[in-house]
Structures are given as C-alpha cells and as structure tokens.
Amino acid sequence: MEDNKTSEEKFVPKGAIAFFILFVLLGATIWYGMFFLMLSRHA
Amino acid sequence: MDRNEIKVIVITGLLLATFLFAVLWAADKRHIDVPACIPYNSKYATSKITQLDSNTYQVFVVAKMWQFDPAEIDVPVGSTVDFYLTSKDVTHGFNISDKSVNMMAVFGGVTETSVYFDKPGTYSIVCHEYCGAGHQNMTGKVVVSPKKQK
C-alpha cells in the first residue's frame, strides 16, 4: 500500500503533456498558416 | 486547482492572445478591411468600369442568373480596383481566386471592397452561393495585364 501511494504521488502525465504541446503547436501552425495565406492574398 | 491545469490555462490563454494580436496587427498595420455594405442606389444596378486615375478603377458588377456583368475586367498590373456588387435577382456569391474576396451579391443591397492586383494573370471569379440551375456556369474573370495600358 505504501509503495502504491508513493508511485501515485510521483506520477507525471508525460503522454498527456506531450499530446497537449503537440496539439497546441498543430493548432497554432494551422491558424497562422491560414492567417499568412490570407495576408498574402491581400498584398 | 492542480498546477498542470493552471499551466494549460496560461498556455492556451497566451496562444489566444497571440491570435488576437495578429488579427489586430493585420487590421491596423496592413490596413486589412472587411467588405462594406453601402446604401443601395439605382446607379449600382448598371454595370460599368470607371478609371479614376492611372492605377485606380471602379467596377460596378451586377450579378444575375447566371452571369456576372461585366464578365471580364481588364486592368493593368499594380491596379487597385474598387468593386461595387449588387444583384438583379437572387442572392449570388462573388469570390475572386487567389484574392481574399468573399462577398455576397444581394438584391437591393450593395457590397463594396477594394482589391490590389500586384501580379499579372487571370483571376477567376466564381459564384459560390447556390443560385439556381445555371449556378455552376456563373463565372467571370479579372485579367491583369503585365504592362500598363495606354
């Protein structure tokens, strides 16, 4: 029981963090891709 | 609140802030305007092309089933074209390829936008609002010639 508690407290959701960072980067890439495409068409 | 939850909220908030800043920057520094609706006047119901000076044109476009009038617009490269768009019947769309022009032609209304053509070529105009049996044939074009017309 003691070991289980210790391992739960030290748990870091690395997969979720990596997924979140990639998700944010993907969103920003798509958004800015569209943004600069629109700007280039307004040249 | 969990520390990771706070981080997620802060990061997404910063990202949204950069989106907002980019939009405001484009509107201010790049003078990006959205199409404007202006009061209807019967003079807009007649299609014509008017040259204001060497590189500024006014184009009065009348959309009707199933064509744009004028269907072809010839301007020299480096021209700024002010489009005034209306419809004689149903609602039509007005989309110029490779330009951020996405307007509606509405009966009894006038939509205005300004487009700068910096590269020569042929820019297709298509109706992108379904308007009836001949909708798919409703096209036009802007021909931008490489040298100034004399």
pLDDT of residue B83: 93
**Torsion, Cα of B132, B135, B137, B143 (10° steps):** 140
Does ipTM top 0.85? no
Question: Do B122 and B106 meet the contact criterion of CB atoms below 8 Å apart?
Answer: no
Q: Report the chain A residue with the minimal C-alpha distance to residue B113.
A: A42
Q: For the full predicted model, state whether its pTM sits above 0.80.
A: no
CB atoms B98 and A28 under 8 Å: no
The answer to whether A15 faces chain B, any CB pair under 8 Å, is: no
Which stretches of B30-117 are DSSP H helices? none
The answer to whether A14 faces chain B, any CB pair under 8 Å, is: no
pLDDT of residue A30: 96
How far, in Å, CA of B121 to CA of B143, rounded? 6
CB atoms B99 and A41 under 8 Å: yes
